[in-house]
A and B are shown apart, each in its own frame.
Chain A
Amino acid sequence: DQQVKQNSPSLSVQEGRISILNCDYTNSMFDYFLWYKKYPAEGPTFLISISSIKDKNEDGRFTVFLNKSAKHLSLHIVPSQPGDSAVYFCAATRYNTDKLIFGTGTRLQVFP
């Protein structure tokens, strides 16, 4: 039972353009969402998060959008850079728990 889903296993974007990574969840109890970035042979690193009381959070080139009614969130990267090439994991958690539920990841490749 995969509660957090990333249906696109891979995405290829040209440098300078926008990258949009999508994530869907099924558990309406989730109230906090995070994006992690992972390079090969390294652990995931935190990128950006959003609380369910918001619908947008921005940090530099990275913006996360949350649509609670659709149980959908997305990560926008603009402009995309070659160093953004990595696997991106969406994660969700809920109040009074201390564990993250991860999606299966989307591999982003940014080409020149």
Chain B
Amino acid sequence: DTAVSQTPKYLVTQMGNDKSIKCEQNLGHDTMYWYKQDSKKFLKIMFSYNNKELIINETVPNRFSPKSPDKAHLNLHINSLELGDSAVYFCASSQGGRNTEAFFGQGTRLTVV
């Protein structure tokens, strides 16, 4: 009974391809996020959505486009993949507002070759 689930868990693709990562949460949270953990293990926020509205966009290239069809889902679409996009991408959700801890999915390891 996973709280935050993302698919796929692993994704290997060639440069230039377009790919999507899906995320769903069953916690009833209002806010969802995408975080990226790079090869140096830095875990950085990319986007946050609150009730399907974009709240945070941390100067991510516009090849990355989040889509939130409803507040339980936040998908990440990446166009024209580059080698530097290889990382682990984590989806998360929280009740939103001040000082609430986020619940994370298991991560999607993206490898661009």
- Give 19 pairs: A residue, B residue, CB < 8 Å, sorted on A: A2-B42, A32-B98, A32-B99, A41-B106, A43-B92, A43-B107, A44-B90, A45-B104, A46-B103, A51-B99, A89-B43, A96-B98, A98-B94, A99-B33, A99-B48, A99-B58, A104-B41, A104-B42, A105-B43
Given contacts A43-B4, A104-B40, A104-B41, whether A98 and B104 have CB atoms under 8 Å apart is: no
Q: Which residues of A contact B (CB under 8 A)?
A: 2, 32, 34, 36, 41-46, 49, 51, 89, 93, 95-96, 98-102, 104-105
B55 touches A98 (CB 8 A): yes
Given contacts A98-B55, A99-B33, A104-B41, whether A41 and B103 have CB atoms under 8 Å apart is: no
With a cutoff of 8 Å between Cβ atoms, the chain A residues found around residue B58 in the complex are: 99
User: Is B97's CB within 8 Å of the partner chain A?
Assistant: yes
Q: Which residue of A lies closest to B47 (CB)?
A: A99
New A-B pairs, 19, CB < 8 Å, besides A43-B106, A98-B31, A102-B42: A2-B42, A41-B106, A42-B107, A43-B90, A43-B104, A44-B43, A46-B101, A46-B103, A51-B99, A89-B43, A98-B96, A98-B97, A99-B33, A99-B56, A99-B58, A100-B45, A100-B102, A102-B43, A104-B40
Given contacts A98-B50, A98-B56, whether A105 and B104 have CB atoms under 8 Å apart is: no
